[in-house]
Amino acid sequence: MNKPSCKIAHIIFKQSMSSTLRQNTVALFVFLFSALVLVSAYLGWSATSTVNSIYSDATVYLQSSGSAIPSNPVNDKSPLNFLRNMTIYIGLIGALSAIVIGYQLISVDRKNGVLPLIGTRIGNARSYLIGKLAALAVTLSCITLISAFIAVITLLLLPSVSITASQWIQLSAFLFLGVAYMFFFGVLAIASTALAKTESVALLVPVTIWLTLTFIFPSLTSNIHPTAAINPIASLAPAPDSAFFSFFSVVLAPFSFAENFKILSAYFLDYLPQRVQFPIFELIAFLGNVLFATVLAIISLLKLKQEKGEFYV
């Protein structure tokens, strides 16, 4: 990309970030997501403190009675296990936040007449899409950094817990995974908003896809009910021994984006029911879906007629 195009993309990026940060809906989702992560961190810290307190009292009693002292239950599981609820928060609030942000990035320009102005004055669709995708990626990264900060402070404050270098790497991989998960829904919203003729359809399509991937696909592949789908442990239940579920678990596996995210998250945060080899198939399918959604957003933005970008009423 030449220097003028880079400058245009930077201007669009700054305008997009400014417009996004002014949206009350976006601010509400960010606040809610941060609050839930903070509550999850507190619950993990509180549970660890309670177990440690009980263990200390039990140790004193066992020593006085001459009994053998078992190991501390806190040390029997990975400390990353206490952050497992972040998987659900990213899958629910994080994904919805990404959809709203992606929708706002394009809809604001279409509604306020900015898009036709860009099309007639600048006429550079490539710079426009780079600026928009960069704004989405940076916004989602900032949201994730907030949760990362809370998670790191929580792990450092957990009593009687030490974090290894490999566990810090696993946490970093999980956070990167979370950004990619939200980015998937964000670019879907961008593609939908760029192609849709009405505002309602622009927002309805990505929300419908999110509902399908989060609740319907798990029901078809593993008989996981909606209430279990928002439980990080219950959502990992194996599929029933049935021809119906066996068929759909194979057919829908490459497209089960939410399920693949949960399996990968469980691996990185050490709460898989049993330790298995790295889920390489789930990772390939996950990255393939993200790549497909990104390409779809790029094509949609390139096809967007900037000179006539308003929604139909």
Task: Tell me the chain's radius of gyration from C-alpha atoms.
Answer: 23
Q: Are 296 and 187 in contact (CB under 8 A)?
A: yes
pLDDT at residue number 185: 97
For residue range 222-247, list pLDDT tens digits in order. Answer: 767 666 667 776 667 666 777 777 78
For residue range 148-206, list pLDDT tens digits in order. Answer: 888 888 778 776 667 888 999 999 999 999 999 999 999 999 999 998 888 889 999 99
Lowest mean pLDDT among 94-108, 119-133, 230-244: 230-244
Per-residue pLDDT band at 248 (split at 50, 70, 90) = confident
| Residue owning tokens 């678990």 | 249
Q: What's the pTM?
A: 0.88
For residue range 250-276, list pLDDT tens digits in order. Answer: 888 889 999 999 999 999 988 877 666
Please tell me which residue, 309 or 199, carries the higher pLDDT value: 199
pLDDT at residue number 275: 60
C-alpha to C-alpha distance for 194 and 51, rounded to whole angstroms: 52
With left for phi above 0 and alpha for psi between -120 and 50, is residue 66 left, alpha or beta? left
C-alpha to C-alpha distance for 114 and 19, rounded to whole angstroms: 11
Which residue type occupies 153?
A: I
